[in-house]
Structures are given as C-alpha cells and as structure tokens.
A and B are shown apart, each in its own frame.
Chain A
C-alpha cells in the first residue's frame, strides 16, 4: 500500500511537473537563507554567513539530482529523452533509414517466410505419436527392384522381432484410385487397404469420429472406412454430418460406411483419400495372393539399423524360400517417407534463407559503418564536451534498436506477404502448406540476428575510433586517419556481399534453367487439345477384363465420331504416375531367361488403334495399330525409340521380335517405332512398349481415355459423358482433365523452387547493390579533399570517375572470385533438383557474374558521378 502510493506519487512527479507546487530550488533557497540568518544572528558577517550556510548544505547540484531521482523515474525520463534524441538523429538521415529498414525488411521477411514454409513442411510434427519411431519396412531384390512380401512373412517377422514392437501392413501398391459414388456423382478416390491396427501403430487419432481398429479388419466385419482431411474438404465439402454416410464403390462390389475423418498430414500411403480395412477391400482368395508392405513401431531402445539388420536376417532364415533369400531389407522412417522428396529443395531454401539473412546483416553492418564514419567527429566532440561515454553508447544502442525494431516490423509485413504468395503459388500437393502461419520464433530469430549485427557494427567501431583518436580528430579536423580501418572493413563486407549474392544468384539461375529445360523438353506427344478422362466400370455389367476391353473396343469408334473429337483411345497408365505403374522386363527372341530378366524395365501400355493419333505421336518407322491387330492375328508391338536402341542398337527394329518373358510362347513382332514419351515422368523419357488392346494378354486393362479434341479439351466432357451413359454398357466417366492442367503437377514444384530462388536472388543482388552504393558513396565523401586537389591539378571528370570505379570494381572482382568458388561448392546441394544442366555450368556462372557486376557498376555510378562533380574550391576549403 505504502509502496503503491509512493509509486503513484512518482508517476505524478514524472508527468505533472508544471502542476506541482513543489520546486526544490525554492526550498533550498529558503533553507540557505534561514541558515545564513542563523549565522548572522550569532555575529558572523553577512557574506561569510552565506558562505558557511552553503558549505553546510553540501553540493547543490548533486542534491537536486538526488532529489529529482527520488521525485520521479529519472532514469526513465533520461531514457525517454535519449530515445527522442535518437529518433531525431534518425529523422535527420532519411536516406540511411529508408535503405536500412528496406534492407532489414527484405532480409528478415523473406528469410522468415521461407523458414516458415520449410519448417511447416519438413520439421513440423506429423499427427502421429513419436513419428521418428515409426518405420516402414520394404524388401528389395538384390538387383534393386522393390518387392513386397506375403502377409504370413510380415506377421511372422513382427511376431519374432525384438526391434519392432508392433506392426501394421498395407497393400503394397499403396493407395490406388478407385471409382466411388458420392451422392449423385461418380469420382475416383485413392484407396489404401490397411490392416486394422494401422492407426494404432501410427498412434494417430481421428479428427472426427474414430480411426479404424482391429475389429474392423475381421472377416465378416461391416465394411467401414475413414477418409482423409483433404478428401473430406474437397470431395465432401467439409460436411459436418459425414459420419455414417455411405460410400459405395462404383463397381457395386461393396459399400463402405464412413466412420471417421483423419487429421491433415497423414495421407499415407502417399496420396490416400480413404483407408479401408484389408478384409473389407479384397475377396478372400485375392487377399492370399496380395503382397504387403509393413509399417511398425520400434521397440524402446531399438534403432532403424537394428530393425534393418533383423529383417535382413529374417529373409535368409533357415527354411526361407529362395525368393526370400534374394531379398534385401530396406527400412525408412515414417517422416522420411512422408516428407522425403521435398528435402533437397527445402535444404536449398534453408541455405538460401541463411545466406540472405547473412547478406542483410552484412549490408546493414556496412550501412552502419559508413554512417559511423561520418559521426566519428560528432561523437568525439560530445565526449570531449563531457558527455558520459555511457550516455553516448546508450544513444547509439537506442538508435540501432529503433532501426532494428522498424526493420523487424517491416520484415513482418514483407514476410506475411511473401508467405501468402508462396502458399498461393505452391503446388497443390505440397504437404500441409494450407495450415501455415508465419513462424514467430523464426521472425524473432531473424530480428535477433540482425539486431546483434547492428549493435556490433553500429556501436563498437564508432566508440572505438572516437576513443582512440579523440585528440587527433579534434585537433586536426581530419577524420580519415581514424576511419581508414573502418573503410577497409566496409570494403571487406561489400566484397563478402558480392560473393554471397553470386552464390544465391547462380543457384537461382541453375534452377531457373532447369525449369526451362524441363518445360521445353520434348514430350514426344502434343499436350494441347488433349483430354485425359478417368473411367469407371460397373462390375455387375462387365464381369471380367475381356468384357471390359470388348466394351471399350466397341465404344471407341462411337466416341471418335463425336463432333470435336479427332481421335480417342483407352490407356492404362495415368499421366506422371511414375515407372512403377505398369512395367516389366521384356526379352528379345532368343535371349536366355537370366539375360531377359536382367534387361531394362520397360513401361508397358495397352492401347487401341486411335492412340498414336490421339497423342499426336509421329510414327518414326513402320506402322501403328490397325483393327486387324486382334486376337488370332500375329501378335504385334510398337516400341519407343530408346527401347528400340536398347534391344537392337544400330538396327532397324521393325520386324524384330520380343517375348514377354524368356521361354514364353507369346512372341510379339515389332511393327512400328514411335518417339520416347514423357508421359509417365516428365523428367525421364523411359523406354516403352505399346501393345494393342484387341489382342491383350494382360490380366488388367485400361481405365482411362486419351482424347484429342479440336477445341478446348474441357468442352467435350459433357458430350462424352452423355455418350457413355446412353450406351449403358457399364462404362462411366469419372473425372476428365486437360493434359495441360496435369502438367502443372510435375512442373509445380520446379516452378515454386524457381520462383522462390528468383525472389531470393533479386533480393540478394539488390542488397548487394545497396551495399556497394553505400561504401562507394562514403569513400567519395571521405576523399572529397583528395579529389578536390586532383581537380585543381587538372584531373578530368573521366579520370576521377575511373579513380572511384577502379576501387569499386576491384572489390567486386575479389568478391566474384570468392563467390564463384562458394557457388561451385554450394550448388552441389542442388544436384537432385537440376534438370539437363550441371551444377557447375559455366554459362550460368558467367551470366550470374555479369549480372552482379552490372548491378554493382550501376550502384557505383552515382558516387562516381558525384566524384566528378566535386567543386575543387569548396572541397579544399572544407575541413572534411
């Protein structure tokens, strides 16, 4: 209570100075008079009385100060005064402040935004328990092919394993699209078939409803399913009443009941939109033949390597099949699998963000040094006039803190904007980007780092040079004696900035050129006016593959005759579905079994006569398929260019013969050659073989159509759907997408990478130019006197500009040399992101050097022109 009252009194003292009747000077005066009067009364002479009174009273100034201290928060008052003074100082240097705040905003904002994205994708937790303890256990054959193992092996292994505590398994092909009816709509959703304890092992809880449990996977259990967050939002419109809804498969084979929605971030196996128990997904007899992958939780204390060693030992256990003996264990942690493929890019961004922050620090340090140069005299003068060193330092610190705060706030704005932008242009499948908010810790860290740099470079040099050269500075009035070291440091920093900018710029250029290479890479077919339509089949009307293929064969001429459609064909593989979708090792006629099996994997495709026309693939040799290529006729195959070169290098492939597997009866005669297509993977044109639908020997068949249109591809969709419905043969249209839209998938990430790095590079070069400008301008200012003398002695403007430029260019050159070395090292990080370009590409490096040099030269231009315009008389008269 007492202290509260005292505090209030002090606060009043702080603000209510004028209102207060309490002036200490009056009180002291009264005291002095009374004391003097007392002495006089005792017979001391008036003057002497006053003197004694004053002596008794002690130092007046100190007393007033102590009293004021007691009266209000003098420290606070003094602090506020310093803040005012500091901001006044800053107001007098608007150019410096603008550049410094812009620099900080760019650096802090971009670095924070990118860190946030990287953190959100790579470092954040998945919605599972102890994510790094979850392992996925694969097997691989010795020649590197992935394989799956039968469910008995999986359960046996887990039962006897000491490294793995509990394990769940899922159908080896991961999640596969399957047609479902959702209300009146037919759509394809990715289904993963998992064991009942899948979510128990992951330690994942449902967002709504419940997760699957072991009881759901018992034979005869009611078929239930849980859907992904993404599917819930996109396919079901985030419906609150989702639980209990029915999800029938389009083929009518079964109907799931939705019992839960899983949290975002757990779409595993990758891309899963709904999880169903294995028992409720496959018929009994099919289940026995199915292969599985295993996901397990490590036992306490066990490592990933322990699990791998155990699994390897399990494969070669006594009594294991020869098939099993041939397997190698591959164990990955769950986070690696779910987040894995984003890692190289994220690492590149993290490095780029760190570099940008470093450039920012260097740049601000530089600006501060340069500003410090101009203030040595001011500071020395203040010190000489009796200002406490502490007061001077406090003011410098506060100036820098104000700048840092302004920079931090502006950085927050830039970071927020940049993050919105990143999210807007990120590829749709980027994991969990929609849940990202600017990371507070990252922002604090960025602001902290820059603030420390600012304090170090803004305060220390100024104080040190002012101390050492106090007398010099004041006596001679020449400041450059003290500041030569300063300038050296500033030049060193600018050189470093040039080097760092070059590293970032060359990385951005490499990524940019990779993107161009990727976008320009010949597809092998024409992507425009091409529609990819996913089909759905009714199991009740189309009992088996033969019936389905026959229906497709019958439908093709009808569809091709529709207006606006040029050509149409069924196709097996989805675009960009990767090499694993449908591939095998073929053998040339006469090869032994081992030779054939050791041959390259070839993408296989089952198509109808209209395929090459629909894809607009030129026939390079021989012919395409005709209606005559049907069951009973000689078996034929069309091969891609690189497959032809692989099997028969230097020979004409037409007329050569291929077999499915060495020693098999079915022999295919090559009738045509087409270009390699980047249909399965945009990055690689893989060897491929096309088989005619009408003589299919395969157990599976096409489930999509490729349609070449005359107009925009989307326009034919309603007509196509009507035609299929009218035919009522059990073939329906699920979803249809223009190929150009599908291209956004594989191009999305490279585009994001290129865009982000381009933003970084621009910021880095801009900051670098600012740095060069700052230090060169300071140099010119310092050398005004020298330049004046030279002018007086007859130096031309051109010579003066050269004088300035030479200095600047030699700094840049040194920076570039270091930068090239750094870039050659750093760009190796990018290798896995590059396409068709080497990380040490000479042209890119040269281009980046030239660009940095041009930017730096432009930044030098203004100070150089300034040097040329120095007025000799004024310069010589000035003391600076």
Chain B
C-alpha cells in the first residue's frame, strides 16, 4: 500500500478546476505540483495523465490556455478557468460531496456484515 495512488477517473478534472479556481491562471507544472502537494504527495501526475486532461478541458471550453512568460521569465502555457468552467466546478463539487458522503456511508464499519 506504500505506493502512490492512481488518480481516479473524473477526480482529476475536479482537482484541476479547483486548483485554477483557488490559484488563478497556472501552467501545467504548477497544477501538477499543487495537486501533488495538496494530496500530501499521495498522488503523482505524469504528462500522460495531466496534459490530455488539460487538453480535454480546453476543448470542452472549461479552461482556456495561452502562452505567457512565467515568474522566472520562461515561456509556459497558462490555463485559466472560464465562466463555463466555474459553473462546472460548482456542479461537480456538489456532486462529489454527495458521492463521497454516500461512499462513506457504505464503507462505514457498522454497515459491515448487515
């Protein structure tokens, strides 16, 4: 059990949206670092997971990317939440709360064996 967790399908989107919501426009590396930090290094994001997800969100119009100079003058692609993305975050956040509540009821110890 000591290894890193696999990212659950669907949760990454929520994490990305939330990250951008909290931190404002951010490049891919920043998003990855932030998610890893928040997860207390339980999660690790590689390119193959993160960038296709970013691209998908961009294609669906939830985020918008543009090339900018970073704080230390590097060219990087910054992603920002769009209006649609904000709405989606609100919706998915509510959904997720309910889902996790339901899951926790299921997995609560007193339910075992009944």
Q: Which residues of A are interface residues toward B (Cβ below 8 A)?
A: 2-3, 5-6, 9-10, 13, 21-22, 24, 26-28, 30-31, 33-35, 37-38, 56-60, 62-64, 66-67, 69-71
Q: How long is the Cα–Cα vector from A6 to B52 in the complex, in angstroms?
A: 13
| Between-chain CB contacts (< 8 Å), 29 pairs | A3-B60, A5-B59, A6-B56, A9-B59, A9-B60, A26-B75, A26-B77, A27-B28, A27-B51, A28-B51, A30-B74, A30-B75, A30-B77, A31-B29, A33-B74, A34-B30, A34-B70, A34-B74, A35-B29, A56-B44, A57-B47, A59-B46, A60-B47, A62-B48, A63-B47, A63-B48, A63-B52, A67-B51, A67-B55
Is the contact region of chain A dominated by helix, strand, or loop, or is it mixed? helix
Q: How long is the Cα–Cα vector from A812 to B77 in the complex, in angstroms?
A: 72
B47 CB contact (under 8 Å) in A5, A6, A28: A28
Closest to A65 in B: B48
Question: Which residues of chain A are within 8 angstroms of B67 by Cβ–Cβ distance?
Answer: 21
Question: Which residues of chain B are within 8 angstroms of A66 by Cβ–Cβ distance?
Answer: 48, 51-52
Closest to B57 in A: A6
Q: How long is the Cα–Cα vector from A27 to B55 in the complex, in angstroms?
A: 12
Contact, CB under 8 Å: B48 / A58? yes
Question: Which residues of chain B are within 8 angstroms of A35 by Cβ–Cβ distance?
Answer: 29
Question: Which residues of chain A are within 8 angstroms of B61 by Cβ–Cβ distance?
Answer: 2, 5-6
Q: How long is the Cα–Cα vector from A510 to B58 in the complex, in angstroms?
A: 75
Closest to A61 in B: B48
Contact, CB under 8 Å: A6 / B60? yes
Question: Which residues of chain A are within 8 angstroms of B75 by Cβ–Cβ distance?
Answer: 26, 30
Contact, CB under 8 Å: A70 / B46? no
Contact, CB under 8 Å: A30 / B51? no
Interface flag for B27 (CB, 8 Å): yes
Q: Taking the nearest CB of chain A, how far is it from the CB of B71, in angstroms?
A: 10
- Residue of A21, A38, A58 ringed by the most chain B CB atoms within 10 A: A58
Closest to B47 in A: A63
Q: Taking the nearest CB of chain A, how far is it from the CB of B61, in angstroms?
A: 5
Q: How long is the Cα–Cα vector from A493 to B75 in the complex, in angstroms?
A: 66
Q: Which B residues between 42 and 94 are near A, CB-CB below 8 angstroms?
A: 44, 46-49, 51-52, 55-56, 58-61, 65, 67, 70, 72, 74-77, 84
B29 CB contact (under 8 Å) in A6, A30, A58: A30
Closest to A33 in B: B74
Q: Taking the nearest CB of chain A, how far is it from the CB of B32, in angstroms?
A: 8
Q: Taking the nearest CB of chain B, how far is it from the CB of A869, in angstroms?
A: 59
Q: Taking the nearest CB of chain A, how far is it from the CB of B55, in angstroms?
A: 5
Contact, CB under 8 Å: A63 / B46? yes
Contact, CB under 8 Å: A10 / B59? yes
Contact, CB under 8 Å: A71 / B27? no
Q: Taking the nearest CB of chain B, how far is it from the CB of A108, in angstroms?
A: 44
Interface flag for B98 (CB, 8 Å): no
Contact, CB under 8 Å: A34 / B27? yes
Q: Taking the nearest CB of chain B, how far is it from the CB of A27, in angstroms?
A: 5
Q: How long is the Cα–Cα vector from A62 to B46 in the complex, in angstroms?
A: 11
Q: How long is the Cα–Cα vector from A5 to B57 in the complex, in angstroms?
A: 11
With known contacts A27-B28, A31-B47, A56-B46, A67–B52 Cβ distance under 8 A: yes
Contact, CB under 8 Å: B52 / A5? no
Closest to B67 in A: A21
Question: Which residues of chain B are within 8 angstroms of A67 by Cβ–Cβ distance?
Answer: 47-48, 51-52, 55
Contact, CB under 8 Å: B52 / A30? no
Question: Which residues of chain B are within 8 angstroms of A3 by Cβ–Cβ distance?
Answer: 60
- Residue of A34, A37, A60 ringed by the most chain B CB atoms within 10 A: A34
Contact, CB under 8 Å: A24 / B29? no
Q: How long is the Cα–Cα vector from A33 to B70 in the complex, in angstroms?
A: 12
Question: Which residues of chain A are within 8 angstroms of B55 by Cβ–Cβ distance?
Answer: 67, 70-71
Q: How long is the Cα–Cα vector from A34 to B72 in the complex, in angstroms?
A: 10
Question: Which residues of chain B are within 8 angstroms of A64 by Cβ–Cβ distance?
Answer: 47
Question: Which residues of chain A are within 8 angstroms of B76 by Cβ–Cβ distance?
Answer: 27, 30, 34
Known interface pairs A6-B59, A30-B27, A35-B29; 18 further A-B residue pairs with C-beta atoms within 8 A, sorted by A's residue number: A2-B60, A5-B60, A6-B60, A9-B59, A10-B59, A13-B59, A22-B65, A22-B77, A24-B51, A26-B75, A27-B76, A34-B70, A34-B74, A56-B44, A59-B48, A62-B48, A63-B51, A67-B48
Q: How long is the Cα–Cα vector from A21 to B66 in the complex, in angstroms?
A: 9
